[in-house]
Structure formats: C-alpha cells, structure tokens
Amino acid sequence: MATSSPPDKPMTKPVDTQWLDRDMSLLAFNARVLHWAQKPDAPLLERLRYLTIVSSNLDEFFEVRAALYTSLAKPKADLSLIDAQAQASLSLVAHNLVDTQYAIYNDVLLPALAKEGIRVVSHSERTLAQQRWVKALFEREVRPLLLPVGLDPAHPFPQVANKSLNFIVRLSGHDAFGRENEIAIVKVPRSLPRFIRIPESLSGKRTLFVSISSVIRAHLKDLFPGRTVGDFSQFRVTRHSDLSVDEEDVKNLRTALRQGLVHRNYGQAVRLEVSAGCADFLVDLLLRQFELPASALYRVHGPVNLVRLGQLIDLVDQPKWLFPRYEASFPHQLPANMPIFERLKAGDVLIHQPYESFDGVLAFLREAVNDPAVLAIKQTIYRTGSDSVLMELLRLAVQRGKEVTVVVELKARFDEEANINWAEKLEYIGAQVVYGVVGLKTHAKMLLVSRREGRSICRYAHLSTGNYNPRTARLYTDLSYLTRNPKLTQDIEAVFGLLANQSRIPRLNKLVLAPFALQRSLIDLVDATAKAAAAGQASRIILKMNTLTDDKLMEALVRASQAGVAVDLIIRGACMLPAQRQGFTDNIRVRSIIGRFLEHSRVFYFQTGTQETLYLSSADWMSRNMLRRVELAWPVEDPALRQRVVDECLTTYLHDTVDAWLMHPDGHYTLAGAARSRSSGKSKPAVGAQGKLMAKYSAKA
C-alpha cells in the first residue's frame, strides 16, 4: 500500500474532546432502524419486524455494552472510572427509545393490524367461548410446565435466566403450613410458544391470537389455591453476556468456552423490564434482588419482550403484508456451462450479495469438493450458523480424502456454541481444526483451494467482507471475491500458515493483515491523499463500513479533511467522527443507509492525483479490528471490477435519497430525502441504492 509522510498542516483543534459518544451513536442507529416501523408505505408485518430488530439490538447492547453503566449499583465499584453524567444521558436516551418503541407498537402497529383483522386478544376482550378455549389450553399445555415458587428461607429467590419471561406475584392469606410468605415467582418455560392462534371457529373472519403471558395472567389464581392473588407483574432481566476467558491460563479454549456457556445466562444483571403498572413494592424488591439502580428499570406498556413478536409474523404469514419476494440472480460472471476453475483462469470474479446469490460461493466450494484434482481446502469460520450447507460440504470433502483445514473462531459472540459443535464434528471425522491465535479473534473470511494441474499445484481462493452463512447472505450486503491471482493466493496460504503455527509474520504481496499492518497502511493511504491535496492534486476518500470508532484512523481523516480532501463516509451504525463541524471536519460528510437489507460490506476508496486505490476488507475501522483481531484487506486491481465496486457500492449510495440519513455536526441524523426536498423546494424522483441494485440483479430482470 502507498506510504507518505503526514501533511504539514496541523489540526486546528484538539481531537480528544471532539469525538461523538460511541454508545449514543449506537442508540441513534437503532432510532434510525425504528423509523422503518413508522413508515406507512412499508409492508405491515415488515414494520413489525423492524420493531423486533430494534429490540434484539437493544438486548445485545445491554448484554455487551451496559455493564459499565450499571456498575454504579455495586458497592465496591470504582466510581472514578465512571462518568455519572454520561451514564445519566445514555440512560435517558435508552429509556426514550424504548418508550418510542412501545408507543409505535400500541398506537400505530396494533391499530393497523386490527384494521386488517389481526389482533392479540387480551383476557377482558375474549368472548365466553374464547375464554373456555383458553382455559382448556392452559390446563392442557401450560399448567403442567409451571412450578410457582413461594419465597421463604428454604426457598430463596430462584435463578432467573437472561431474557427469560417471569411473573412476580404478591399473595395474601396463609400457605398450607400457616405461614404468610407473600411473594412467589412463576418462571415461564422457553419451550412454550409466545403466541397461539385462536381457532377459526372462535374467531370468525378475523385472525386472532392470545399471548402466553395473558394466558398465564388470566389463570394465576389457579396456581395458588387457597391464596388471594394481589399485585403481580411480568418481568424480564437482561444480564451481561459477553463471554470472557483468560486464554493464557487455560489448557483447552474449546473446553473453557463450553463451560462458560453454561454460566452465560446468569451473569451480572444490567436491565430490569416490568409491566408499566407494576406495584412499587414489587419493583423495589426486584431491584434489590438484582442489585440494580433505578435507572436500570424499564416500565413497558406491553409485552416485556418485543423480540418474540417475530413469532406473530411467522404465524400470520401473509405475503401481501411482507416485502415482495426477492429472487437473487446467479452471479453474472460465472457462466452456467463453464467450470469455475476454468472461469478464474480468465480473471477474477466479484459477487455482490444479496443481489447476486451466495449460491455462487457454494458452487465454488462444491466444485472443489467434487473435483478429484483438488487436494486441499482451507477455510476460516466465524459465523456459519447451526445448520449450514457449507459445513456439510467440508465434511464431505474430508470423507473424500481431501486435506481439510478449518480455522474456527470459537469466540464469535453469541455463535460460540454452534462453532464449538462444528469444530467437534469436523475434528471427529479427521479435519485439521485450529482456533487461530491466542488473544486475537480471527475475523478474516477466506477460503483456499489447492488443485493439481499437470505438474503444478495451483491455488484458487475466495475472500469476503461477510460471513460464510447462507442465511444471512440473503439479508446482508457483502462482496465476495474469487481469484486465481498467484500473489494473492500465496498471501492467503501464508496467513493460514500463520494461524496454524504462529511462526514469524509473513511477508505479503497484496493482502494487508491486522493486527500487524492494516491500521498503519490505512493511515498512510489517508495521509497520501492529504499530501496530494496540499500539492493541488486531485484527492478523494470514500469509505463504506459498519462502524468508525478508531482514534488514530479518525485523526488521519481529520488531517485529510483539513488539507482539503473531500471525504465521504457511508457508515451504517456507530460513527464517532462528527460531520462538517466548522474548523474541524468541514470536508467530511457522513451518511447512514438503513434499508431492506443490512449494509455490511467494507469498501475503502482513495484517489491520490491520477491514482485510484480500492480495497475490500473484513474489518471495520475500530480499534479492536485493527489491533485485537486477525483481519484482511485486499486490493481490487482489475479496472473493470474496481469501477463496478465504485459504481454499485459507493456512487449509488452517495446518491440515495430513499434510505439515506445525513449526519449533522452535533451527531444527529435526518433523512436525506427530506433534506433535499426542503432545499430544492420541490419533490425530486427518489433513488434508493438497494432498490436500484435489486432491479439490476433480480433473477426476474
């Protein structure tokens, strides 16, 4: 990669206090996602799905990011490490976001669903016939699975699993032994469906459902014969769930992680959700039990777990209220009548997912598995899912006598169990399984095939900005790259060697590898554009990624901006670099695309004078990706492919006025379409990047 000295022009302002707050930026991203739930032109069930996506994102935010903010509740917390004002501000924004969610659910989506004849019927709204049916359902399928626990010295507060549904009940009267133990806990098994459809014979022409929480609520008194049920509430506890093991101190990382998975559901509590009307007495009891401050309490007007509304979407299953089915085309650069190995002899292949099908990647691996000339297959696995065609192909390759090496990242957050299971299955049948480098996550996505051709061994490779997961490949935008380039495939072989034997850092021809060189190389590229701008030459930076939070990389972008470089950032999620702040980032524009698909590709474009440089990568510009992970970036040197990436992943997105949000200097975002309409005084034709690419690549096109 290009190198240069930093430009002479100094920054006009110190940067240490200029960055935006990372967690605030994450919550702002979820507010943008939540906007989809309010769009009247979006299909009704998809609007409900976006509501569940935000809830799922918030769950992960609390599980991973919120432990610091709840540590104030711990008597031995080091308060010097905690910014109380930042904690209060973050808590306020999180509470407002949750309140907005439930307002949309109650005031917008439920009425819209009811208008279409879809309702979740509460106990008070059920007819006598429906109540009898619910009673029979409770006795037959629910009650046998419930075991209420009355609290006393012999029955302490039961362990409550992360994100599980529970009831807390206050009782009056005496128990069978004459005691006045007034608090009981009812744990709702996760095996119970959260929504059950009422039979058509009892619902007429409407589509009616009951929630499992309302079924249990209506029959709480039946669980406590001889007692009077007073105050009660649903509740749900979110716990810190980021697995942590001391890799230097364990003999077998796989065994240590599997043991850690057992305890993940019972980590430190970080959030408590209760029904809006929960009595203060019960709230205080729960907060004390889970050692949480009042700021960690969320009173919600509806189900305490909106994520499970996804079951409702599946049960309704009406295509007219869903996005029109998109059928991706098979990659255009892969002719159906030509073996992929032969095609790659003519040049590299680019696959733009999900507009083009992930089946092209599967076809490449399937061809390698079935080809007798293929001797070895090496692949990294980060997130592949529990049911994976790709992993089954690797098993078949082992059975056919090929040398299969799999680098499995066991610490892929919330995919640890699936990855451990695949590692054990592959190892059992004879694959070589390694777990990367101690202390570093292997986030690079690469697949290498070694094939005998005459007297030579030729290498073919696949690199990707995304995961080897066929399911998410239909939902995430990513770029796959197939190549036979000798220098590039030699680099990939060297990286696999590093991951397996951890010897010396390899000298690479084309690839740039983190944690060794990626950050420094990117800084050099940014500084080179600044030097060109200072010399009066053409200069431009366009970057597309998920997250931008690395201090050194942001400082480099500020230097380039102040030297006169036009910088466009397409950042889906958290971005700590403020846009167009006077005297600081005047030439930096930031936009976020929130559409039907999850933007996931990482593309880095630099113009320095007459030279254009473009890299694809598995890495976001975060310190963890640069310094604590094994990541790859690779150049796209073919002019036609490079221009295709620029056109489809950068230029098209910079002209989006449908799904794009623009950042303002204070860090807040507004819709690009609204801003353009106001500035022009009249409506202009809407251009959506994702819609344009779907139209271009659809199998129906």
Sign of CA dihedral 393, 394, 399, 400: positive
CA 571 to CA 13: how far, in whole Å?
A: 24
CA 580 to CA 586: how far, in whole Å?
A: 4
In 224-279, where does DSSP find H-type helix?
A: 253-264
DSSP state of 445: -
> Which tokens is 682 given?
């009249």
CA 554 to CA 626: how far, in whole Å?
A: 13
The secondary structure element, H or E, covering residue 486 is helix 486-501
Residues found in the chain: 701
Question: What's phi and psi for 369, nearest 5 deg?
Answer: -65, -40
The answer to whether residue 155 is catalytic is no
CA 281 to CA 615: how far, in whole Å?
A: 58
Place of tokens 């990372």: 22
Strands (E), 301-418: 349-353, 374-381, 403-408
Is residue 405 a contact partner of residue 378, using CB atoms and an 8 Å limit?
yes
For the beta sheet containing 166-172, the strands, ordered from the edge strand earlier in sequence to the opposite edge, are 149-150, 183-187, 166-172, 228-239, 269-275, 297-300
**In terms of Cα–Cα distance, which of 378, 512, 527, 343 is closest to 449?**
378
> Which tokens is 241 given?
């769930």
> Which tokens is 504 given?
């010396």
How many CB atoms are closer than 10 A to CB 72? Answer: 16
Instruction: State whether residue 149 is helix, strand or coil.
Output: strand
The one catalytic residue in 219, 240, 352, 443 is 443
Write out the catalytic residue numbers: 443
